[in-house]
Amino acid sequence: MAFVFTDSNFQETALSGGVSVVDFWAEWCGPCRLIGPIIDDLSTQYEGKVKIGKVNVDDNPEISLKYGVRSIPTILIIKDGQVVDKQVGVATKATLEAKIAAHL
């Protein structure tokens, strides 16, 4: 299961070094529900190598505002505390795997 990033834990988890994949989503978002299982699969696949999780934008507005998330789903790939890639909208698992692999 994907990690749950929040306003309070984001700094020490997503930005603490290495590669993190952060899915900005909301329960009411149809496309977010499509990509959710892909994020869960990737979190299992890359366990121990990449921190993969989700941010509920309704519950965590500070992170969404800080990273300029205006459309969901938005997926940020963060390496060593810096955003290195971004995917807005639904993407296939293969697309996300390629984006992750490019930063490992």
C-alpha to C-alpha distance for 50 and 91, rounded to whole angstroms: 18
Q: Which of these, 60, 59, 55, 85, lies nearest to 73 by C-alpha position?
A: 55
pLDDT, one tens digit for every residue, the chain (104 residues): 899 999 999 999 999 889 999 999 999 999 999 999 999 999 999 999 999 999 999 999 999 999 999 999 999 999 999 999 999 999 999 999 999 999 99
End-to-end distance of the chain based on CA atoms, in angstroms? 21
Question: What is the value of pTM for the model shown?
Answer: 0.94
Q: Do 81 and 29 form a contact (C-beta atoms < 8 A)?
A: no
User: What residues act catalytically?
Assistant: 29, 32
Cis peptide upstream of residue 73 (ω within 30 degrees of 0): yes
CATH homologous superfamily of 3-101: Glutaredoxin (3.40.30.10)
